[in-house]
């Protein structure tokens, strides 16, 4: 993502209440699991990696799942589950245009 965002700013779009179903993780291909990882550390690890498209974070148990670029064999809209402890953060590029107030 960072290489594709030369004229903008990389940030994340947060969707609260979503988690990957543990019984279907193999459908998503290579994921990186980090246990006991603070949300800020998970954020930084994904932000600094060109291969990370986003991450899931468990805010209660501090688990982090990094989603690798092109790792999903199924769209993320598919088998996700609701969980108030989790959130999904998708890496996006905001264009470099500044918004000015008048």
- Which domains are present in the chain? 8-73+81-95 (3.50.4.10)
Residue 64 has what pLDDT?
93
Does position 78 have pLDDT exceeding 90, yes or no? no
Residue 13 has what pLDDT?
95
The tokens for 89 are 């953060």
Contact between 12 and 18 under an 8 Å Cβ cutoff? The reply is: no
pLDDT per residue over 35-73, tens digit each?
A: 899 999 999 999 999 889 999 999 999 999 998 876 544
> 11 to each of 17, 25, 92, 98, how far by Cα in Å?
19, 25, 6, 15
* Measured distance CA(4)–CA(1) in Å, rounded: 5
């Amino acid at each position: 993502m960072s290489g594709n965002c030369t004229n903008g700013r990389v940030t994340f779009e947060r969707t609260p209440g979503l988690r990957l179903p543990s019984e279907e993780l193999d459908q998503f291909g290579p994921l990186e699991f980090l246990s006991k990882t603070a949300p800020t550390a998970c954020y930084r690890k994904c932000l600094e990696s060109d291969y990370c498209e986003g991450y899931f974070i468990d805010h209660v148990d501090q688990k982090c799942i990094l989603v690798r670029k092109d790792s999903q064999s199924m769209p993320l809209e598919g088998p996700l589950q609701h969980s108030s402890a989790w959130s999904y953060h998708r890496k996006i590029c905001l264009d470099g245009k500044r918004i000015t107030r008048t």
